[in-house]
Structure 1
Amino acid sequence: MDTKENIEKTAPLLNSSFSDDFDKNRWKKQILIGMFIVLLAVFTYFVLPQNKKSTNLENGNKTIISPAITKSITQQTNTIKREAIGFLPSWSVAKKAKVYPKDLTQIIYFGLNVNKDGSIIKYDENSLPVLEWSYFNSDYFGQIRKEASGSGTKVLLSIKSFDNTTIDNIISSQTATNKLTGQLLALIKEYSLDGINIDFEYFTDTNFPTSKYLATFLEELSLRLKKNNPKIIISIDVNATVVVKDKAYNMTEIAKAVDQVILMAYDYRGQSSTVSGPPSPIYGEANEHSISESIDALSGRVPNDKLILAIPFYGYEWQTFTDKHKSSIVEGSGALATYKRVKELLKERSDIIKSWDDISKSPWLSYMQYGAIKQIYYEDDRSIAEKIKFAKEKNMGGIAIWALGYEGNYRQPWEVIETLLD
């Protein structure tokens, strides 16, 4: 066997080119050995742990998923397309309130009244156009409809009545139903409308004899309006407390007849209330009505994806006897307090005491004016966010806003809606 010494002694006798080749081969061998060591290290560090993870997964062991991946999975599985509906009253059109169709999936013009014979009221007894009809045909609303068309936002017309006798006759008379349906078909065609909203604010006593006709009326209306265009949207507005107290509403059949049931989740308290409090409480104290109670009353009667939560861009202000939460009210002092009104009041005054009711998830404030105590229970960005989160938790089909224009030029509530509603 050659030793290191023997190799060194015989080296000068070797051919020089052979020596160069030998050196090159030796370096190549060392490089290959080095590469092998690196690959072995990579295999040991990365591949074996992955195999171990796979084995753990197969054996049912828990694996850790990063928050980023969890968020991605959640986004992929939550595929519900929720509605953002805005009610646009004629008086907001009259004031040329700024409307952003791109923020909405639907704009519902509110609205045209009906006679008890089913005819839509367009003109008064002097053959002059009524205001609602004038603003529906105004250049400004025409501009809104054009912008809505460009942004893919649907435009619907609301047909309304607050008179029990009128509603009773329309829903129980085939002649009246036929007349109303025919006139609606003509309006849909002439104005390229995407649907009809029914706002029959029909306050009944339990088992009121004509209430059974409401579902039948809606079923026939829907069938006839959708006959030539199945994409026509039919929705109905329902009072939030009525669906709790009055079981005469056959909400199961009503829900089958329409595409959307819009729950008017406000006016749990109003201008004529005797005690101050939130008009749109998500939850209530003992013996108090609330949005949660209304939703529970509709559970199993209206599919979640058809149910729309209508939230207010307003509250109420009263003169009260104390500055305490839920104080007694001075009779006749109630007034509407829009989102815009409250924002401007908070800017103007530095003496306002703001509070938050954690049960109802609503803000309220108090201040002194000419020696009188004033309280306002209202909606702000936080309470709007709470209602959107509630609607999502209940897997509802979306939200509706009453009413466009009440926010003035403030964009904050729309930023909340855009951020939270998916």
Structure 2
Amino acid sequence: MLWGISYFSYSVHPQTGGYKNIHQWKTTALIDSAKAHNSKVFLTVSNFGKKNNTIFLNNPKAQNTLIDSISNLLAYRNANGITIDFEGIPKNTKDKFTKFIVLISNKLKAINPEYMISLSLYAMDWNDIFDIHHIDPYIDFYTLMGYDYYGSFSKTTGPVTPFITSNKFGKGLQASVQNYSNKGVNFKKLIVGLPYYGAEWYTNSPETGANVVEFKSHPSYKSIRKAYIDSLKIPLQFDPTSASSYIVIKDNDSTFRQLYFEDVKSLSIKYDWIKNTKISGVGFWCLGYDNGYPELWDLLYEKFSKEHNKNSTQH
């Protein structure tokens, strides 16, 4: 079912370009499984935060060390390339980030022309960090992180991935895709990533878009199913504007919890739109968040499997 997996992650040490952590990249059987099923394997390169990105992007030596280190790790697992996931890039380092993308793409492709370079795009590029016109020749595909429109930072409750722009929830997935299309991202090179997790808040009201008292957590799909839907039998609700599912838990007369997440119903609407818009594909964060519940795999099969579509045509 999977065209590719992106292993998270080579966490960059910004001062040196070496890694703080590569987790089980060298040993995980996940990569062997992926290859056995003809799935491509990418190593995510992550660097988060304004300070870390400023340090790294102002350090050519660290950048070259990173590229050498990455090329060794790709060769070690016979991988297919990298996913660049740099978040919190300051506006004043935009040009240096652009140059880094060109550098790492050129150097890795000089080592192996088959290596693919992917770039993770923010849901909303508020600081206009991505110079698509300049970097596009060096990027094989883009992965839109189509989530966290609402989260721990939110003052009101709302969907992790609102679908269309609305007065209530603001801009959503369609606006993000249109924004990157306007910047020059070709849909043939775009994968839209969607969340297999939710966002939960404490509120004083059961109404959608209520003021947040406190953020609680980002539970995985399997946790939501197990803890709330299967065990507590809390009724599932659906917001048609954002095409998102949610539940409201009443703790007492004045305290509530609101939890927004994606499920078969909400994902089905978004998948159909992705297909109709001729976007190249869909991704999700992250593998295993639905472990034990096959319905999300079944939906992917129904919507995207060539085998299923071929059988459907025959019938």
* Same fold (TM > 0.5): yes
CA RMSD for the aligned pairs?
Answer: 1.8
Maintained 8 Å contact 1:255/1:306? no
In structure 2, list runs of 5 or more residues that go unmatched.
Answer: 306-315
The 2-side partners of 1:329 and 1:166 are apart by: 30
- 1:254 and 1:109, CA in 2 relative to 1: closer, same or farther beyond 3 A? same
What residue number does 1:252 align with? 133
Alignment of 1:7-406 (within 5 A): 103-122=1-20, 132-138=21-27, 141=28, 143-204=29-90, 208-241=91-124, 243=125, 245-286=126-167, 288-300=170-182, 301-331=184-214, 333-344=215-226, 345-350=228-233, 352-371=234-253, 372-406=255-289
Q: Which has the higher contact order (CA 8 A, sep 6+)?
A: 1
Residue 108 of structure 1 deviates from its aligned partner by 1.0
Residue 203 of structure 1 deviates from its aligned partner by 4.0
**Whose helix proportion is higher, 1 or 2?**
1
The 2-side partners of 1:226 and 1:366 are apart by: 50
For these two proteins, the number of residue pairs brought into alignment is 301
| SS of equivalent to 2:112 | coil
Maintained 8 Å contact 1:255/1:303? no
Bigger Rg, structure 1 or 2: 1
Letter aligned with residue 348 of structure 1:
S
Q: TM-score, normalised by structure 2?
A: 0.89
What residue number does 2:313 align with? none
4+ long deviations beyond 4 Å: none
What residue number does 1:19 align with? none
In structure 1, list runs of 5 or more residues that go unmatched.
Answer: 1-102, 123-131
Maintained 8 Å contact 2:53/2:89? no
* Residues 282-291 or 261-270, more deviating: 282-291
Maintained 8 Å contact 2:197/2:289? yes
Maintained 8 Å contact 1:201/1:238? no
| SS of equivalent to 2:230 | helix
What residue number does 1:56 align with? none
Maintained 8 Å contact 1:255/1:261? no
Letter aligned with residue 205 of structure 2:
T
**Whose strand proportion is higher, 1 or 2?**
2
Q: TM-score, normalised by structure 1?
A: 0.68
Identity over aligned residues, as a percent? 26
The 2-side partners of 1:120 and 1:311 are apart by: 30
The 2-side partners of 1:121 and 1:248 are apart by: 24
Residue 252 of structure 1 deviates from its aligned partner by 2.2
| SS of equivalent to 2:258 | strand
Residue 358 of structure 1 deviates from its aligned partner by 0.9
Residue 190 of structure 1 deviates from its aligned partner by 1.6
